[in-house]
Chain A
């Protein structure tokens, strides 16, 4: 089965840029979606199809996907961005998630 690998944690100071990676074999050939989950809440999609933002998601959230790594970039990090972030792809008809990255805003 297809495996997605994320770093368990990332720490960033307010106003700085956070980058959360999602590794997978030839993931650049797949469409990657990213979800944000705050404590006690359901996940919310923040990026779909590698780089597209749903309405209501700030422009500070951006993405890239090439080779074996997809990246979620959060610019000008705010305290409210502190959350768990998950990448997601499809493998045949199965949904695959990365293990999640806990982003701490220092």
Chain B
């Protein structure tokens, strides 16, 4: 079964740091790009960052550029999101997801992790 299991998150003060992890199983991890998303309380989905399968290229939303870092360890089948200089507005449920498809069409995201709450207060 293809699965993404998230850990990390919690409560941190403004200016603090958190690190989220997303452990993958059931597929060849290194063959897939991965992304992080977030959803503020009562709000919609926002893409945060992406990383290709080889970790050579990373991409960030403007809202987190320079503060967040996405990385992956293909030996551990895990993708990470390191969040620094956290702000109150970064409070959200954070999801990891696998890029799927993409051979002839822009990829979609499937599956998603269960989500983890990061609260900045």
User: Per-position contact with B for A74-99: 1 when CB-CB < 8 Å, else 0?
Assistant: 00000000001010111001111111
Task: Assess the B112–A42 pair: CB atoms within 8 A.
Answer: yes
B41 at the interface (CB under 8 A from A): no
Kindly identify which residue among B50, B59, B112, B115 contacts A44, using a CB–CB cutoff of 8 Å.
Answer: B112
Task: Identify which of B10-18, B66-74, B77-85, B100-108 touches chain A.
Answer: B100-108
Among B6-57, those with CB < 8 Å from A are 35, 37, 44-47, 50
Task: Assess the B47–A42 pair: CB atoms within 8 A.
Answer: no
Closest to A54 in B: B110
Docked complex Cα distance between A98 and B7 (Å): 27
B interface residues, tally (CB under 8 Å): 24
Residues of B within 8 A of A48 (CB): 100-101, 105, 108, 110
Docked complex Cα distance between A96 and B97 (Å): 15
Residues of A within 8 A of B110 (CB): 44-45, 48, 54
* Number of residue pairs spanning A and B whose beta carbons lie under 8 angstroms apart: 62
Q: Contacts A95-B35, A97-B45; is A31 near B105 (CB within 8 Å)?
A: yes
Residues of A within 8 A of B114 (CB): 42
Task: Assess the A95–B113 pair: CB atoms within 8 A.
Answer: no
Residues of A within 8 A of B44 (CB): 84, 86, 97-100
User: Per-position contact with B for A48-63: 1 when CB-CB < 8 Å, else 0?
Assistant: 1100001000000000
The chain B residues found within 8 Å of chain A, CB to CB, are 35, 37, 44-47, 50, 59, 61, 95, 97, 100-101, 105-115
The chain A residues found within 8 Å of chain B, CB to CB, are 30-31, 33, 35, 37, 42-45, 48-49, 54, 84, 86, 88-90, 93-100
Question: Could you list 12 further interchain pairs (A-B, Cβ under 8 angstroms) beyond the known A43-B109, A54-B110?
Answer: A30-B106, A31-B105, A35-B45, A42-B95, A42-B115, A43-B45, A86-B44, A88-B45, A90-B107, A95-B50, A96-B47, A100-B44
14 pairs, A vs B, C-beta closer than 8 Å: A31-B105, A35-B45, A35-B109, A43-B97, A44-B110, A45-B108, A45-B110, A48-B100, A48-B101, A49-B101, A84-B44, A90-B107, A93-B50, A97-B45
